[in-house]
Amino acid sequence: MKKGAVIAIAVVCGIVAIGAIGSAGSNSNDTTVTKGGAASSSVESSKPAATVSSAESKTDSETKSKTDTKTEPKVESKTEPKVESKTESSADTSAGGTVTASVGDVVTTKELSFEINKAFTTKKIEHPSNEFLTDKASDGKVYLILEMTVENISDEKQNINLFYFHTSVDDFTVDQSILLSEPDGLKTLSGTAMPGKKVKGFLAYEVDENWKKCEVAYTELLKDNPTFTIVLDRSTTENR
């Protein structure tokens, strides 16, 4: 064989070998997944890398733990009346925003604070300075007097209206009694309070002398349901 032919054959064999190496390189995987799910590639992947919370196994039983972000529903807090108890009496705040209070409690709404000072029954109420202005209950009846102090805790003047109070005794509706006298020197609970100021007065009802339970519901202007209810019974009411 001539020396030129040998050289030609060697060149051809070299070209074939280089082609085989290039073909093997083109069959390799473009993307390498590392611990934690991060991906690196010489060619950019068309899919975003997933967030993985645990390392991936290269066996057939590999498990991927994905962290799903859940958006918790936003709960808006509602301002409800609160009761500050000055005695051992308790307040029930479970009735859909309506609170129940008794003597010695303070009920606070958005604009006003009601302090329930005392409750008592009596057959006769005399005016402190005029003996002719005396109120006497009918036979078999007594006056039930509820005294309160109302403070304006808002930034605007507030009207304290006695007609916002609706009362029932032993499940029967009763009207307020208009008295000529002034129990404990007080006037009927009514008036206008400027911001930070107070109004003190009483509510009066003529009830059966054997009454058992009285409920006084306060309903704010333009509201359908009571804001709070004052519950009185014979065991917590003074008898004069």
Burial 73-108 (b: 16+ CB within 10 A, else e): eeeeeeeebebeeeeebebeeeeeebbbbbbbbbbb
Q: Following DSSP, what letter does each residue of 178-222 receive, concatenated?
A: --SS-GGG--BS-EEE-TT-EEEEEEEEEEETT--EEEEEE--TT
User: Which residues lie below 8 Å from residue 53, measured CB to CB, with a gap of 6+?
Assistant: 65, 66, 67
Mean pLDDT by 10 residues, the chain (240 residues): 52 46 42 32 38 41 48 54 51 57 94 96 91 92 97 96 94 94 93 96 96 95 89 91
Cα separation, 145 vs 127, in Å, equals 14
Q: Read off the pTM.
A: 0.62
Domain boundaries, the chain: 82-239
Residue pair 204/185 in contact (Cβ under 8 Å)? The answer is no
| pLDDT of 82 | 61
Domain 82-239 falls in which CATH fold?
Answer: Immunoglobulin-like (2.60.40)
Cα separation, 62 vs 200, in Å, equals 76
